[in-house]
Structure 1
């Protein structure tokens, strides 16, 4: 295969005629509930670009929602997965096991925060990992309640829809939801009523008061939180908030679960976002960036908690598929060899530098935030903090037309988020930022 040229190249309008033909087939064959952000059909991808059926080459600021951090066709991922494919595709680890699963578990036990004894169980998706973390916590504590946070996103299964804050499009019409789920405030500095400087202290106090008074700490099996809220708007909780919640959990025998599905594996410039404040979760859920694009997820945590479930109580036919495990080992190898934590920190330096300069020029940018290769801008009505979803959608559309893949998010639909592959070239990174600046100028 010829090497994929790392350049933006538009030979048709976006989407091109072949993509439009394929989209018509998609509409006829696939339910409308499965939406598409940008209807270009990809034939090849890697580095920082996606090539479509019409021969266009687009800059990728989405990474398949933080999945292809090592690129879409990283050499080590392809090499290891190909070798495994040739040996066998599946046996079911619960029937006849294989070394790859154990090796991935060993790597995760080593890489995740804390030097305590750990165990890892492998699954297929982030939602499945979160669901299993709750099962494990309930089995260990013999309690039922689960506490989650405003703006949190944890998945699309019945239980994880209950854990997820945002109604549309994730929950609307899909209830009733799993019981015994309680939501408390998140330290969202930009929107905290008394100001960002009071946010960590006040939000933690409010959350702990609600748990204590409305649920009873002695009834809570798990507190589940994203160290940076992903779908909710790339909200980095005010410094000090996470440690306070973790301390409260520890003091009350509650399992503290860090959902690092979007933030894990070098995405924030550290192996895991919890590392930033030295928070050591009892359980940590991972997926997305774990296997270079193959479906894999994990729950890693304290041995005594992970071992609480009875034999046969955890698992799944495809969980820890051997090809996905091989890909994960290739992805971790790539992250270490290329020092993708350093790459992520450099992406933050470049992006925040440019975006803060844009904020000076454009009153529509309320806040620039995020860490590493997980950066966002919150867009507002100029002179206010009123969410501006309309301009957010218009900006995304303008970027797409120019061959830049960007995603939106946020509880109010007013956040433009950037998740470039951590292997993207700096020239492409800056070209993408040029497109964003031009779109802001026009908006």
Structure 2
């Protein structure tokens, strides 16, 4: 205790840890209690218990840190609600462990909103605390100093996919793997609204982040710590061990940013795919391909691509991947369009696809068309009837069993056909809830 202005304030922060064995008979629910007394009681209950109701892998967490204790970028609390005074947060998801196991349970408490000496914790304990945070808070924490950046990197967190979106503002989207956290999006806002276009890529004045794009959970806003968009990308790639930008996506009919400025900001990064969303115009897409020529894969979900006769100069390019068509598109693809494609991988989803058209495509391939193609995917929509007799009509084929191109540990029927130079290509047919899919894989 110490006195300040004649008033005693408890400035003590406490850390407790306990270990207990939990098994499949777990039925007990640990109570959520605030204050030191509540924590001690909970720990005694845990330590004495041979069973407890836990929630997915569980860690009970603790915590509220004053908003000013860890710099301007730390949201001020770890997770969920901001409880005042004594508080304890617990996180749980129903889970029944298949066997007995030991879990370390960490609980933290701050009393009277006192500063918590986070960096006084042992390194392993500090990492456990950080791993209890949402990824949004972890990114914010990593910005406090070089030390926090290195601590976050040392935890070796992984993000499955990082993408950039060019819309009214520029955003970074993080998509985790199946076992990871929810998707999060960081958006970078200019100082003033500027209706004049094109505008240069700006130094962000403020930054917003949200988890789970659909529900906009965990929305937070920060002042920009003086990082350009280029430096932001470098920072998140560093802490998440990422060397690539999976998508550079364009969402507007007209790109409001100066193309040279945009290329200077993000052109240095290894970008795998140019992605044209439903609002992107054909003109915007063509400009993107012109200014980012090193990106050799293109995906379009934009209705501006419905008429391939308007962009045949794109069809004939030596791309690695060309993917066209989406649920809301009415892509009018024809046989001539397919034969013009010079990409290694093509993926087409179109209501005008027919079994006869794809059959004719295979016959042309046998004679030598599409020499760069290594893989093709045709998705039939609108419940079109498709049978292997139509698909294989007039083709000499050999039936084989092969692994599904899209499903793990699933075998499907396949049919080998041979080009005049004896190169083999394997056709397979799979049915999904959305329609029928034909896959064609070439084996040199």
Shorter-chain TM band: under 0.3
> Normalization by structure 1: what TM-score?
0.22
Q: Which has the larger radius of gyration?
A: 2
> Normalization by structure 2: what TM-score?
0.22
Q: Which has the higher helix share?
A: 1
Where relative contact order (Cα < 8 A, 6+ residues apart) is larger, the structure is 1
